[in-house]
Amino acid sequence: MDRGRSWLDAGTFLGSLTVEPELLRQKSEAVLQKVKGMKVSFTELETAVARTGGYWNGESADAHREYFEQQRPRMEEMLARLMEHVQDLNQMAAVYSRGEQEAKEISLDLPSDVIV
């Protein structure tokens, strides 16, 4: 079924965008898996940085570990924003699915004995 959505540019229709709710869900899942992988990598990096305290001492070592800790909020914010993409894709899929279902229900109410 074609799910064309018209693009509007300065009042002019330029074409249509085909959106498949299932594709949105698949992309959402793909992003989710990537973000989970990034979280695992970040946790492993945290562990590696913490281990340096056992063999790397001094001002330089402390400065590098402190810098890493200062970057933690930025990393957490980035991961949170990526998770928002997952939620957004799922919401878009739900909207399109709901619209498709409503259109089907409306079409069932139309008279079937009319010839156009």
Place of tokens 């200062």: 70
In the chain (116 residues long), the average pLDDT of successive 10-residue segments reads 49 65 95 97 97 96 97 96 96 91 85 74
12 within some domain:
no
Collect all residues with Cβ–Cβ distance below 8 Å to 109 and sequence separation of at least 6: none
6 within some domain:
no
49 within some domain:
yes
Which domain, by its residues, includes 30? Answer: 22-106
- Tell me the C-alpha distance between 24 and 9, whole Å: 24
3 within some domain:
no
**What CATH number has the domain bearing residue 39?**
1.10.287.1060
The 10s digit of each residue's pLDDT in 77-99 is 999 999 999 999 999 999 989 98
Question: What's the confidence (pLDDT) of residue 13?
Answer: 53
- Tell me the C-alpha distance between 55 and 50, whole Å: 10
97 within some domain:
yes
- Tell me the C-alpha distance between 59 and 63, whole Å: 6
88 within some domain:
yes
100 within some domain:
yes
- Tell me the C-alpha distance between 25 and 66, whole Å: 39
Question: What's the confidence (pLDDT) of residue 68?
Answer: 97
- Tell me the C-alpha distance between 102 and 109, whole Å: 11
